[in-house]
Amino acid sequence: MAIKFDGAFEAMRPPDQVYDFLTDPNKFAALLPDFQSLTVQDARHFTVKVNVGISHIKGTAEVKMELAQAERPQRAQYKGQGSVAGGNVSLTASFDLTPVNNGGTRVEWVGEAQVFGRLVSVAGGLLAPLGKKNVQKLIDGLQAAMK
């Protein structure tokens, strides 16, 4: 099951500062909904754990992330693979940054999560709304952090 997300917002910081924030998991990981922990392997690889609860499936998702594209200060793209209770997830998230007249940055973001396994058959129709809700929480947190 594929769940797609996209949107845009403006940050009050210049593109280089927004880029630095978005490419440093130590700065943004705690903004993930139901964040548990972060382990950084190197400048491009980290593992994040978050609590997951859908229907009667509850547990911890462990997602290995890679900063797959890093074009300072215009673009950052992440790719990740992980395991969640009752399934697996593959995801991508990209951020395109454009300077705006007030000295800030327009952030256009696109993401996709592919969910596999028993989780899809059990939670099915709940996955997309829950995913969109959690992505919006993350985006709201990013906006607030970059004011």
Three-class HEC string of the chain: CEEEEEEEEEECCCHHHHHHHHCCHHHHHHHCCCEEEEEEEECCEEEEEEEEEECCEEEEEEEEEEEEEEECCCEEEEEEEEEECCEEEEEEEEEEEEECCCCCEEEEEEEEEEEECHHHHHHHHHHHHHHHHHHHHHHHHHHHHCC
CA–CA dist 110, 113 (Å, integer):
11
Whole-model pTM: value is: 0.88
Per-residue pLDDT of the chain (147 residues; tens, 9 = 90+): 788 999 999 999 999 999 999 999 999 999 998 899 999 999 999 999 988 766 666 778 899 999 999 999 999 999 999 987 667 889 999 999 999 999 999 999 999 988 787 666 665 566 677 778 888 888 889 988 987
Q: State the pLDDT at residue 119.
A: 61
Q: State the pLDDT at residue 123.
A: 58
Domains in the chain with CATH codes: 2-145 (3.30.530.20)
